[in-house]
Amino acid sequence: MGEDKSTLGNMVDAAGAKLKEGADRLGAAGHEAVSDLTTGRTHVEHKAEAMEDRAKAEVHNLQADANYAEGKQEASDGDGH
C-alpha cells in the first residue's frame, strides 16, 4: 500500500491476499488434525504451526481488506487510479 495503484490493481491484490489467507487456514486445519493424532513434542509442534498459520491468515485477511478498501476508494473517486 502507499503506492498509487489502479482500482483493478488493488482488487487483484485483494484477491491474491484472500487466496493466501485460505491456504494458511487450510494449513492450520491440517496441523490441527495431525496434532490430534500425535502426542508429546510432535503434538506441541503441530499446535504451534497451526497457531502460526492462523496468525498468517489474519495478516492476509487484513491485507485483503485494506487493498479492497483502497480499490473501492479509487473506483469512487472517478478516475480509477
pLDDT class for 1, splitting at 50, 70, 90? very low
Cα–Cα dist 28/35, whole Å:
10
Q: Note the pLDDT of residue 42.
A: 96
- Residues found in the chain: 81
Question: Residue written as cell 488493488?
Answer: 10
Name the percent of the chain lying above pLDDT 70: 91
Calculate mean pLDDT across residues 53-61. Answer: 98
